Structure 1
Amino acid sequence: MTSLFKPKQFQYLEIEETEGGKIISLFLHNPESRNAMTWKMGEEFSQAIEIIRKSKTPPRVVILSGRNAVFCAGGDLNLLRSFSEKTYSQNKRDMRKFYSFFLSVRKLPCPIIAAVNGHAIGAGLSLAFACDLRIFAKEGKFSFNFVRLGIHPGMGSSYLAPELLGKALGVRLLVTGETFGGAEALQWGLASEVHPKENVYEKAYQYAVSLVEAAPLALQELKKNLYDERALDQALKKEAKSQAKNFLSEDFRETLTSVREKRNPIFLGR
């Protein structure tokens, strides 16, 4: 088998190619920040997706998971802090770019399974929502915590959450920022399966092996017809504008101060 990727090609991604290249596993790997999303990780992630898309012999299934006993802790705090130091126009442009790095998963021609092997917070949970199938860790904690940080939800969550969960439940999770677990993910139909975290990737791999036998051309056509990408794009435009504004607010500066001082933020609405 000819590998699509070079050994240790990426700093923040680990990649495994198995079943003769028919299954590719992408692992987020940023041990210093619990796989938090950085700009560099996003560039690498987008590059890996593009390599898969342009392959003459693309995989039948992709699995997305995380190293370090966690899936993804959301946006990196230093990255978020940098947005507070930019202009509105810069933030609006950069947020769209940042979203596009990770939401490139929607452009894959084959099914992608999110093996959510631990906590998935904020943009990290949005990334799992952007995948086709999800297997969650029973012990994991999951939350769209954006409003608790003083910012509008991003990474497509304002569209993806209602799309998957229905309007009422999707809005509830976005507005409250509440935390839920694996049991709720299964009950709500968000997860196909729920397992102990040490078994999540193995179960996702078993699922992937079963999909390898499906007709790839039929799955490619199905993926084209499953999602309304125009509606997602419109949501991303609105999110970028709103987050660009929020990053410059006193409330967001209070978030950064409260993190440094290890206390809950006190928002004043300005």
Structure 2
Amino acid sequence: MGFIDQDTIDLGSGSKILILSLNNPESRNSMTREMGLEFKKIIDGLLEMSEKQKPRAVILTGKNGIFSAGGNFELLKSFSTKDFETNKKSMFEFYNLFLSVRKLDIPVICAANGHAIGAGFSLTLACDIRIFANEGKYQFNFVKLGIHPGMGSSYIVKELFGAHLANRLLFLAESLSGEDAFRMGLCNDSVPQKEVLGRATEFAIALSESAPLALSELKKNTYDRDKLEAALKKEAESQARNFISADFKETIKAIEQKRKPHFKGI
């Protein structure tokens, strides 16, 4: 079974929009290495296409009434049993699988049709345009789990919104509705859940009316990939250090016992 569903919208004259849907129903579209490998394979395939073959835009969304619950619990739990160097390497490779979306020279619209937590929230911000569901929950919950923010969030949030808002989102780990996120400027629109994909499609069609080569050059000049790569290395090192801490082991126990963790700073 695959973890990424693919659909297309035919625009006529050989043009199309590609829809990629995260689909891991057993764990609320949580992000696993297997899903990441499949995701990167699709992105690599798009990068290898000729200009005529490429879709005019990509929509990234989720199945099962949710975008993504973020990091898979069993994957997180496994890090607590591994050493620092192994975890540092694993996290850097893992986040790069999903952040391959930043390498695309095609506009990417995130139709976050439900909750996007932690790494899932980070993935929405790695896209160019974002539509959130009013009813959705959007949160960077990393520090509440005893780990440094990951999936490039420590850089991407600041890159997009500045240090003031980045500190609020990452340090306080606030849970926001889609309407909250829209008021704060974190997404381009927030609509009822059932309308998210339709609204994203409207944006995709609008983008398809612009020159592909011009949009491709614009994407190259909009984001600083070198700085993101450097941030990922720092995140991987910080998370690897956190994974071997007593606080992270407390996080795992608290989740399994369905209670709040009691951190001691060790």
Structure-2-length-normalised TM-score? 0.96
Alignment of 1:24-43 (within 5 A): 24-43=18-37
Taking the aligned partners of 1:231 and 1:147, their CA distance within structure 2 comes to 22
Letter in 2 for 1:125: F
Measured after TM superposition, the shift of residue 50 of structure 1 is: 0.7
Q: In the alignment, which residue of structure 1 is the partner of 2:136?
A: 140
User: Unaligned 5+ residue runs, structure 2?
Assistant: none
User: Is the CA contact (8 Å cut-off) linking 1:123 and 1:154 kept in structure 2?
Assistant: yes
Residue 248 (structure 2) aligned to one of 212, 232, 252: 252
SS in 2 for 1:50: helix
Taking the aligned partners of 1:112 and 1:235, their CA distance within structure 2 comes to 22
Larger displacement relative to structure 2 (94-103 or 18-27): 18-27
Taking the aligned partners of 2:195 and 2:42, their CA distance within structure 1 comes to 25
User: Unaligned 5+ residue runs, structure 1?
Assistant: 1-9
User: Is the CA contact (8 Å cut-off) linking 1:165 and 1:188 kept in structure 2?
Assistant: no
Measured after TM superposition, the shift of residue 243 of structure 1 is: 0.3
Taking the aligned partners of 1:50 and 1:180, their CA distance within structure 2 comes to 33
Measured after TM superposition, the shift of residue 18 of structure 1 is: 2.0
SS in 2 for 1:52: helix
SS in 1 for 2:122: helix
Runs of 4+ in 1 over 6 A off after TM superposition: none
- Structure 1 residue 69 and structure 2 residue 65: aligned? yes
SS in 1 for 2:19: strand
- Structure 1 residue 211 and structure 2 residue 207: aligned? yes
- Structure 1 residue 166 and structure 2 residue 162: aligned? yes
Identity of aligned residues (%): 52
Q: In the alignment, which residue of structure 2 is the partner of 1:99?
A: 95
Structure-1-length-normalised TM-score? 0.95
Letter in 2 for 1:146: F
What are the Cα deviations for residues 168-216 of structure 1, in whole angstroms up to 9, with x where unaligned? 1111110111111112211122111110011101110111111111100
SS in 2 for 1:140: coil
Taking the aligned partners of 1:215 and 1:22, their CA distance within structure 2 comes to 14
